[in-house]
């Protein structure tokens, strides 16, 4: 049996906050800030587990697998947010990193009552995505007990996918259901049970690590530069220009001309400048080195 919610640390009432409705705004803000300051330390405790999960995820992605996040409520919204940022940041196909939220897209902007309690719907969402043994599925649930997420993780495991459980309580059912368990224990919330607060912050920090470090492992950065980003607006176009100049030492005119010839692709522009190639030759060189700029530059 799953332990009832009142026994979970994230559901406890912290007496430090029992009078917040009577305090001045600045004092409440300081209390919230103090509570939030404890979150990074809780994440730090889980870094060995986070790192092991990332290495396993990146290995499967290198073989062509996808990264799928599954969550309900706030956890689901954070999952969809992290997944949706991967294409513009790392130039990935939208299918490579996906977020699944209980209740579907409607649940992104409003509560869909009962959606998180439907384990069968969770399993069906993974079946619909045709999850297989190359994929990695990260279940995200502050309580670690959301039936939708547990159902999804069970279906993922049945299909041979790598499973990761991210929760904010120790000994969570989600941890028992996953191959890799990540538990970031943040304790009671300022507003009792409102896990969009510390627990949500903790989950966002961990999801940042999972997606970002996986993409680093896959060669989608050069140093700390997001060389795969899509230059879809003037800010990003300017960033691409500065990256090409920084990497190659070329002036902005040279970098800009190379970027134009490379259709805005930073890696291609860099190789064109560094190796004196046209766009086609730079693309061929990059492909021959598995799309890794560092390897192509040193060839």
**What is the DSSP pairing of strand 97-101 with strand 162-167?**
unpaired
Pairwise CA distance, residues 162 & 86, whole Å: 20
Report helix, strand or coil for 140: strand
**Residue 206 · residue 214 · CB < 8 Å:** no
Pairwise CA distance, residues 207 & 74, whole Å: 13
Cα dist. 212→170, 216, 251 in Å? 25, 6, 30
Token pair for 196: 């969009």
Token pair for 102: 């209980």
Report helix, strand or coil for 74: helix
Interacting residues of 166 by C-beta distance below 8 A, sequence separation 6+: 138, 139, 140, 141, 174, 182, 184, 203, 206, 207
Pairwise CA distance, residues 185 & 180, whole Å: 16
Active site residues: 85, 116
Pairwise CA distance, residues 182 & 43, whole Å: 9
Q: Tell me which DSSP letter residue 151 carries.
A: H
**Residue 227 · residue 243 · CB < 8 Å:** yes
């Amino acid at each position: 049996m799953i332990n009832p919610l009142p026994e979970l640390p994230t559901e406890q009432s912290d007496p430090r906050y029992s009078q917040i409705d009577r305090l001045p705004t600045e004092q409440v803000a300081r209390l919230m800030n103090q509570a939030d300051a404890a979150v990074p330390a809780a994440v730090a405790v889980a870094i060995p587990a986070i790192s092991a999960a990332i290495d396993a995820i990146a290995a499967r992605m290198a073989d062509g697998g996808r990264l799928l996040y599954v969550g309900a409520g706030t956890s689901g919204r954070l999952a969809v947010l992290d997944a949706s940022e991967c294409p513009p940041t790392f130039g990935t196909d939208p299918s490579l990193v996906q977020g699944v939220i209980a209740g579907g897209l409607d649940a992104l902007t409003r509560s869909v009552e009962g959606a998180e309690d439907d384990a069968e719907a969770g399993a069906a969402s993974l079946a619909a995505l045709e999850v297989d043994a190359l994929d990695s599925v990260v279940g995200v649930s502050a309580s670690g007990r959301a039936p939708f997420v547990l159902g999804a993780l069970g279906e993922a495991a049945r299909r041979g996918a790598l499973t990761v459980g991210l929760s904010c309580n120790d000994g969570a059912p989600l941890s028992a259901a996953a191959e890799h368990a990540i538990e970031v224990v943040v304790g009671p919330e300022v507003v009792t049970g409102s896990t969009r607060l510390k627990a949500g912050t903790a989950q966002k920090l961990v999801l940042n690590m999972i997606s970002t470090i996986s993409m680093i492992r896959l060669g989608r950065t050069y140093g700390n530069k997001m060389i795969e980003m899509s230059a879809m607006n003037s800010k990003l176009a300017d960033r691409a220009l500065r990256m090409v100049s920084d990497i190659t030492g070329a002036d902005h005119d040279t970098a800009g001309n190379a970027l134009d010839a490379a259709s805005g692709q930073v890696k291609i522009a860099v190789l064109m400048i560094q190796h004196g190639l046209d766009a086609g030759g730079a693309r061929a060189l990059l492909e021959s080195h598995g799309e890794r700029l560092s390897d192509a530059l040193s060839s």
